Structure 1
Amino acid sequence: MPGNWCSLYNRPSKEVMYMRTGIANLPLHGHHCPRWLFDRMVKLSSAIIEAVVEEYGPGEVLERLSDPFWFQALGCVVGFDWHSSGLTTVLCGALKQGLRPRQHDLGIYLAGGKAMASRKTPSEIEEYADRYGLTVDVPCLQYASRLSAKVDNTAVQDGFQIYHHVFAFTGDGRWAVVQQGMDQAGGWARRYHWLGDKLDSFVEEPHSAVCGEPARAVLNMVALESAGAREASLYLAQRPDEVIRTLKKIADMPADKFKTLNLPAAHPVPGANRIEKTLARLYDLQPSTFEGMLATEGVGPATVRAFALVAEVIYNAGASRKDPVRYSFAHGGKDGHPFPVNRQDYDRSISILERALRRARTGDSDNLKALKRLAGISAFV
């Protein structure tokens, strides 16, 4: 299984960290980005990323994309709504389109996108590797893409269904993920950031410095406190008959007996019949770790909830209910907040940055150094 043998950028798997670096909560907005603004976003956002690569290298881009504050600020700088869920999908789309012509020169590649485009992520990773002759471990990157989405959608059940997934990686196999889930009933979206660097595990506290408004009802199987529930779930994966039998007993329990389990209303007890096929598959595969169980095809939120529930009922191994959840404006915003986008100023910014990048490529980096000094001065203003 890739999670056990993958060696990102020539380091053994036990020295590779799968870190979720932050979460952003955003109201759901359904408005479209006007073409005149999107075309400018493509130019300016890609020029900013190119400037970061020129100054710090492609690995720095991954670190910045994995920072929810920097990502939000970038969306504001290029003129999108400061608090809209659309900032995630539109900005990622603009970056992917703008960087595509020079991605090999820059050494950074973007795969995936919104809805059906997200499902093409594994094939796009493979396509980039074949087209550019990259020596990256393709199955390892595909596994990282799939597991980061599955953790946020299945192992952490916070009411947000993942519908957008962008996987960024470099030519030496480093990676980052920006993905977003939707709670249509509540009118909110939640964006999750991952950085495949440093060390630990997909399935025990894979996140760091995560802030935000806690969701009302959460099942968090990757919390440290859920270690017992994960162990019991793996044990139960080898005993499908016991799981089905217990689920049926729970379904027949009187309501007053059931309340002590404190299950969230948004995640009802799964029907035993619905998960029998998945339990049979797990029994045949006999996964040796919770991560391997989570990575198994067909293991979704209902299966994880079933194991968590049965583990609590039989073994008193309760799962955590803890939710694992910090702008700048330069050109205004799409909806006129805090002020309307001035197209002339926007085009001037694109022109200045593109001219600085052209000169940097010929060895004249004075303009980029001036921009860097300006950023340093602004930090004290």
Structure 2
Amino acid sequence: MAFIELPLHDGHAPKWLFNRMVRLGAKIINIIVDEYGERELIRRIGHPLWFHALALVLGFDWDSSGVTTVTSAVLKKCIRELDLDIMVVGGKGKAALNIPSEIKEEGERLNFRTGIIESLSKLSRIAAKVDTSLIQAGYPLYHQAIFCTKSGEWCIVQQGMNVSIRMARRYHWTWNSFTTPEENPHSGLLGYRVHDAVLNLTSAKSRDARRTVLDLAKENPRKIRRLLQEACGLLKGSILEWLGIKESIRRSVLAYRIDPRKVNWKALEKTYQIQPRNYEEFLLVKGLGPTTIRALALISEIIYGDEVDWSDPLRYGYAFGGKDGIPYPVDVKLMDEVGDLLDKAIADKEKRERLLKRIKGILRRGNKVYYLVKFR
């Protein structure tokens, strides 16, 4: 678990620095590819801390959200100048919007198989939809970069911005840790602030709710509109109390705050016509955004009683607080207690090994790593 402060910064990397970053980066990439191959380069780019470490080696600010955007741009230029058989597309703002056409152009230039080109185009849209709609933490995406070898190993690095708190959050996806887009699809997440009431439909806890959401998407929009009105009515505190709904559920459902007028009913009409068989088809429906999916999740939880995970996928921030009182003053008593516990564990070899295994299990879930850093 890593803790790094990365605030949102305006402006661009100066040309003199960017050119030197490209020159040095090209040497590093060339060595990695020669020694370990293109597959390993993609795997490393998909690892949040390796990506960050590369940015620092290249001389970029350690505490800037530009680590993501500038490093992606540097990698894109380096890989193209080295003429490697690796497709690199996307970037910040307009560059991210041009990804569909860029995938096609680069795929044809590098002679990629048609199947890989089509898969990447879908994956780009799915990854963006997941990190804005299935996970709703308040970080709309403004950057997406995709890296892919000719044999189909890929990684995605995308970043969202929370303007109100001037923080960013980075999402990493890699082919070797990806099985399905709807459940724990990331190889890593980076952020700083752990938010309350984050709609997390990618969690295993939300599995039943996800099934219901997909089933609802196949229903006539008129039925969905009626169910949404019922659910919104039940959000009123007095009715919740009358029904005897638990306080924990009451707190979570009050976080929905949905205006039915902002639901994309035309998109739901499309899903009704398409009848998506799985989440890949569901997420590829145009116009199906955060508000609409949030409305379906509301119906799932309030009307059908499915559990929805409202915990931020970022696990925690500071262990004992911070010296400047941010996010809270250092808890010296707790710090001493943990120190004493570790002293005892270190003295007992068997206990030490058990402790290390438990810590490793907490910090890693399979090969998916979750880091907390601060972007501003």
Q: Calculate the TM-score normalised by the size of structure 1.
A: 0.74
Structure 1 residue 238: deviation in Å?
2.3
What's 2:88 paired with?
110
Quote the RMSD (CA, aligned, Å): 2.5
Aligned letter for 1:243? Answer: I
SS in 2 for 1:185: coil
What's 1:18 paired with?
none
> Given that residues 217 and 265 in structure 1 are in contact (C-alpha distance below 8 angstroms), is that contact kept between their aligned partners in structure 2?
no
> Given that residues 234 and 289 in structure 1 are in contact (C-alpha distance below 8 angstroms), is that contact kept between their aligned partners in structure 2?
yes
Question: Residues 36-185 of structure 1: matches in 2 within 5 Å?
Answer: 36-103=16-83, 106-135=84-113, 137=115, 138-185=117-164
Report the Cα distance in structure 1 between the residues aligned to 2:29 and 2:85, rounded to whole angstroms. Answer: 11
Deviation by residue 1:321-376 (Cα, 9 ceiling, x = unmatched): 122229xxxxxxxxxxxxxxxxxxxxxxxxxxxxxxxxxxxxxxxxxxxxxxxxxx
Deviation by residue 1:44-64 (Cα, 9 ceiling, x = unmatched): 112211111111111111111
Report the Cα distance in structure 2 between the residues aligned to 1:165 and 1:265, rounded to whole angstroms. Answer: 32
Aligned letter for 2:217? Answer: A
Tell whether 2:229 aligns with 1:248: yes
What residue ranges of structure 2 are gaps of 5+ in the alignment?
241-246, 316-376
Percent of aligned positions that are identical: 39
Deviation by residue 1:40-87 (Cα, 9 ceiling, x = unmatched): 111111221111111111111111101111111111111111021011
> Given that residues 181 and 279 in structure 2 are in contact (C-alpha distance below 8 angstroms), is that contact kept between their aligned partners in structure 1?
no
Aligned letter for 2:170? Answer: R
Question: Residues 1-381 of structure 1: matches in 2 within 5 Å?
Answer: 26-103=6-83, 106-135=84-113, 137=115, 138-197=117-176, 200-208=179-187, 213=192, 214-239=194-219, 240-252=221-233, 254-257=236-239, 260-263=249-252, 268-272=257-261, 274-325=263-314
Aligned letter for 1:67? Answer: H
Cα gap change, 1:136 to 1:169, in 2 (>3 Å): farther
Report the Cα distance in structure 2 between the residues aligned to 1:309 and 1:181, rounded to whole angstroms. Answer: 24
Report the Cα distance in structure 2 between the residues aligned to 1:51 and 1:96, rounded to whole angstroms. Answer: 16
Aligned letter for 1:217? Answer: A
Aligned letter for 1:131? Answer: R
SS in 1 for 2:185: coil
Structure 1 residue 34: deviation in Å?
1.5
Structure 1 residue 264: deviation in Å?
7.6
Deviation by residue 1:144-191 (Cα, 9 ceiling, x = unmatched): 122112111111111111100000001112110011000010110011
Report the Cα distance in structure 2 between the residues aligned to 1:191 and 1:264, rounded to whole angstroms. Answer: 27
Report the Cα distance in structure 1 between the residues aligned to 2:3 and 2:34, rounded to whole angstroms. Answer: 28
> Given that residues 217 and 264 in structure 1 are in contact (C-alpha distance below 8 angstroms), is that contact kept between their aligned partners in structure 2?
no
Aligned letter for 2:66? Answer: G
For this pair of structures, how many residues does the alignment match?
A: 304
What residue ranges of structure 1 are gaps of 5+ in the alignment?
1-21, 327-381
Cα gap change, 1:164 to 1:247, in 2 (>3 Å): same
Q: Calculate the TM-score normalised by the size of structure 2.
A: 0.75
